[in-house]
Chains A and B, each alone.
Chain A
Amino acid sequence: MTKKPTPAKKSEVAGYNARQAPINAKLGHDELIALYRDMVRIRRFEERCLRSYQQGKIGGFLHLYIGQESIAVGCASVMGKHDHIITAYRDHGHALAVGMGMNEMMAENYGKITGCSKGKGGSMHYFDPSRNFWGGHGIVGGQIPLGVGLAYAVKYKGLKGAAMAFMGDGAVNQGAVHESYNLAALWSLPVLFIIENNGYSMGTSQERSSAGPSLAQRAEGYGMNWDIVENGHDVLEVRDKVAAALKLAHEKSLPSVLEIRTYRYRGHSVADPDTTYRDKKEIEAYKITKDPLMVCQNSLLAEQVLTEEIIAKIDEAARAEAETSAQFAEASPYPTVEDIKKDVYWEIDNPADRKSQGALFFD
């Protein structure tokens, strides 16, 4: 995990309690339970994905979000109508958090025509513009300029909204990310650069990949607001810090960099051996003390918002939903050879409105 010293931030004053923050203090029981339920659904979905992957039902890579659920759920829970999300390839959590369905997601993983991208994107490339979810992107850091563009368009249209552009800690050394920082700060664009710092870019720890005292602090070079969410496993702290940055974006059209400390339990992708760069004890220690689901469950039990009975029901329902999605995916047809050339050009898919002439394909 992160071993670099981190400068103290003003928000980490003694006595800070995320539960008492105004955005969380007002939450009703149903809303608190919904946060917990959404995290459980992500985990059960991904556990089911893992089984399917091990059975050979899912091709390519499978990047699991397990351990990081509090971030996607916390961020999505504070989104407004004109707020948008874009992320990298570890995208299952964000997709479920914005309201995409397990069926279309699992079917996408299986490469089926009923998938959210008709089997053309796969696990790394989910999209749902109707829910302001713009992917699901495979190249590390490559989605960040697009996130700036979403913010640019929101501002251009005069809407009160922002873009949340997610990346991992491995993305912060990509040039496109720094170019994005500069554009966002230069033009006061309403964008939140959210670094989900799980400590490892694939198998390379932060201290072996990134210079400087912290990843978020690089924002200072661009005159941008920044903050570190030390307890990224706490969905309520994520909500509070992200809502504060969103407010800056909405009200003053200012960008921010948020580094959210988190941890992933599985390998970079599940195909990777997870033994060369970290100790199993490190994983176990996190699970025991900081598991996002467990931490949320314990505090809601203590508040008597959750009961053992509700917990069991939520778990059962999530497992059943995930199982159903696997059955749905299994039963769905693959795309056809004819489908391979659909969705390449808008004009080909909308022949009545085609304005150009000539050949667009060459086989």
Chain B
Amino acid sequence: MPVITYREALRAAMSEEIERDPNVVLMGEEVAQFNGAYKISEGMLAKYGPTRIVDTPISEAGFIGMGVGAAMLGLRPVMELMFFSFYTVAFDQIFNNAANIRYMSGGLINCPIVLRGPANGGTNVGATHSHTPESIAAYHPGIKVVVPSNAYDAKGLMKSAIRDNDPVMFMENTILYGESCEVPEEEYLVPLGSAKVMREGTDLSIIGHGRAIQLALKAADRLKELHNINAEVVDLRSIRPLDEETILNSVKKTSRALYVEESKPFCSVGAMVACIISDKAFDYLDAPVKRLTSIDSPAIYSPPMEKLQLPTVDRIYEAALAVLK
């Protein structure tokens, strides 16, 4: 099976969908002539031309709102945010228009739009460029939120997101763009709302999403190596819809849960998952559900400190041991 990067997987997914459906267009800042700020769309302008691969001005509220309007009339725009952090500039267009249009029209109008881009810290670009807004996005009924942790899921989820008739916020990670894994050549889809058990275990469930999953897998290796602890690692992949069943099955098996994520702690995805576990699996728990997030401040610039602000293998390892005490 070919090994490709997360970046290549995203490009393959968008290319396949552009070839499959004439209504799919990719738009965003520097996606065409510049070949993408992070080279996700490299070569796509040359291959598909300027009608399908469209450079926009730096005008997020304008072009995302435009995408929403075009989606209402049947296009399937994939809108790249150079940094997902720039969603704040288009907040009204996303959460008042894209999220509400189906509801306020009594179901008469759909909005099949994908907003995608990197939503992560860890690259020393400061607080303005390091937002991880998955819980903010998922807060809004009408919106779907996807956070792939690896190339295989990135491709399969992107194809599902583009075919989805509801607005999908697709949060990537610049640190993962160069990471590779096996990705089949033949077409496949990963459905939204399906979590994946990345590593089977019996002693503790480490649940999370995004790049934190890659760190959790390393922490699980260390737990096994040093303490013979078998941690199960569950990657949500999709925040809304949410695969509650896989979460609960894992917790019922291990009786202990740790949620890891790069977001800030207040009203995070982990807070929601902890609440669901408490509601639906309380009797199975042998310890309180613990959460590990970024340290609760705006993203610090200082490179060595930013590494420590984010979840690290060390911090996940320590947090797991604390849950097992």
Contact = CB atoms under 8 A, between A and B. Distances in A.
Interface of A: 84, 86, 115-121, 125, 127-129, 134-139, 142-154, 156-157, 163, 175-176, 179-180, 182-183, 186, 342-347, 349-350, 355-362
Nearest to B67: A149
The listed residue with most B CB atoms (<10 A of its CB), out of A86, A145, A183, is A145
Contact of A146 (B65, B108, B165, B191): B65
Contact of A152 (B66, B93, B104): B66
A357 B243 CA distance: 7
Nearest to A360: B241
B102 to A, nearest CB: 6
A86 B189 CA distance: 36
B105 A358 contact: no
A359 B164 CA distance: 16
A358 B249 CA distance: 13
Interface residues of B, number: 57
B107 interface: yes
B238 interface: yes
A148 B66 contact: yes
Interface of B: 25, 51, 56-57, 59, 61-75, 92-93, 96-97, 101-110, 141-142, 144, 160, 163-166, 189, 191-195, 238, 240-245, 272, 276
B107 A145 contact: no
Given A152-B70, A346-B166, A359-B244, A145 B93 contact: yes
Contacts of B67: 149
Given A145-B64, A355-B191, A343 B71 contact: no
B62 A180 contact: yes
B69 A146 contact: yes
Contact of B108 (A117, A186, A362): A117
Contacts of B73: 84, 149-150, 153-154
Contact of B105 (A135, A139, A350): A135
A118 B72 contact: no
A335 B67 CA distance: 31
The listed residue with most A CB atoms (<10 A of its CB), out of B57, B63, B66, is B66
A129 B109 contact: yes
A145 B27 CA distance: 15
Contacts of B142: 344-345
Contact of B194 (A136, A146, A182, A358): A358
A215 B151 CA distance: 50
B108 to A, nearest CB: 5
A163 to B, nearest CB: 8
A118 B105 CA distance: 8
A356 B70 contact: no
11 contacts: A121-B104, A121-B105, A127-B108, A129-B105, A129-B108, A145-B68, A146-B72, A153-B74, A343-B106, A346-B110, A359-B242
Contacts of A153: 69-70, 72-75
A156 B59 contact: no
